[in-house]
Amino acid sequence: MEVYIVKKFLSLFLTFILVISVVFAIPVPAFSETSTQIQEDQQLYDNLADIGSIMKYIKDNYVEDVTYEQLKEAALKGIFSSLDEYSTYFTKEEFKDFTKNTYGTFSGTGMVLAEKDGKIVVISVLEGSPAEKAGIKSGYILKAVNDKSIEGMNINDVVNMIIEEEGTKVKVTFDVGGATREFELTRQIIRVNPVSYKIIQGVGYIRIQEFNENTTSSITKALLYMDKNNVNRIILDLRDNPGGLLTEVVTVANFFVPKGVVVTVEKKDGEDEVYYSYLNNPKYRLAVLINGNTASAAEILAGAIQDTKVGILVGEKSFGKGTVQSVVPLPDGSGFKLTIARYKLPSGRYIDKQGLKPDIYVASTQYTPSIKFNGTLKVGSKGNDVKILQKHLNILKFNAGPEDGIFGPKTANAVKKLQKKAGLTPTGVFDKNTYDAMVKMLEELNNKDNQLDKAIKVLNS
């Protein structure tokens, strides 16, 4: 992580620029300026003059009271929001919260959240956490915290609402497949153990939840266990892994990726940083599990393994987060996060917005039932309950047709198929007994892991 020192530029040639001088921080160049640079600087000063004039006009004429500090924060947030989804300006309080250490030990619920398409989504839950014990799953869309809607809120503000003192309770509300589900969780001390491992059907299984400062030491223990048991076929489960520390993923890659480039951090100034593996003889046959929540550092490891052909990727296309952010503190306690580079894999391809395509595509069967029984449904019924029913029938491959919320003959026929399979009288009417049978089938489906099964089959062939 790079940190730059930012100094204030004090304009002396326009009175209203004095306002700007306490608002904007501008780097002072340490080199002689060319003609082009002088022109660009002049354009910058002119733009600042315009902004200063507007801010002063707002301050003097806006019907409500407003401070220059408020205007500065709004202006900076606007600037960063125009760049990319990962570049952000933080106020003093936001920056303090952002820089809290979330690697190792903290008090919370164990949910890993991310912002997707304007929604706050659970991308994974930590093992042994309150969230896992309550049954919260990847893909749940967060709607409210303690009955307060989080719509339009910054993800850092949402996280701060959830992470508080150990022993206190928090109520979280989710949208799960169109149905609302609520959980009351008791916060506890979360000790992040990023790696778990076991042997399945003679194949080593290692799950890496994230790349934090404990990952390398934990992987070392896992591989020592595999070596002790003479296991050289390894499944690396990187599903729902949001990434983490670049240094950790490079170190982990040195256990698996053959000698050569692991990743290149490509910068605008051309001064790229290249990270290498020094492994002469890879000894493991690998299959790597990925899905739509495999991101950033996790994509670096998976991509390097795929590019160097020491393993195959199984599952679904990865997230596609391949950029590097620099966190810059400012003198007043605020700060910002700016995208300054992008990752390039050994083959020269980029991760960002592209993601990784698996060598063997296997759709996930992991699904948590989200349907509630709100009354009998039959031909002629309409509404959201019917739409949710149709969705679940289609998940179970009973072919209910379009999920349009209209209970027609095709939906009735799908219900009959479900009832026959469950040993019920095939009436085509969705009643309480049919609901119970559906939930049981969905739970059985959720207990199957087609992606893992496929990886085991491939490595054992």
Active site residues: 296, 321
Q: Give pairs for 147-152: CB < 8 Å, separation 24+.
A: 147/171, 147/173, 150/120
For residue 304, give every residue at least 6 positions away whose Cβ sits within 8 Å of its Cβ, in sequence order, or none: 253, 257, 262, 263, 277, 345, 346
Could you give the CA distance from residue 402 to residue 278 in angstroms, rounded to a whole number?
53
Using DSSP's 3-state secondary structure scheme, residue 21 falls into helix
Could you give the CA distance from residue 414 to residue 137 in angstroms, rounded to a whole number?
27
Contact by Cβ (8 Å): 275, 251: no
Closest CA to 72 of 113, 144, 23: 23
Could you give the CA distance from residue 422 to residue 433 in angstroms, rounded to a whole number?
10
Q: Tell me the residue type at 445.
A: L
Could you give the CA distance from residue 370 to residue 140 in angstroms, rounded to a whole number?
10
Give ∠ CA 337-89-342 in degrees, rounded to 5.
30
E strand or H helix at 25, and its extent?
Answer: none
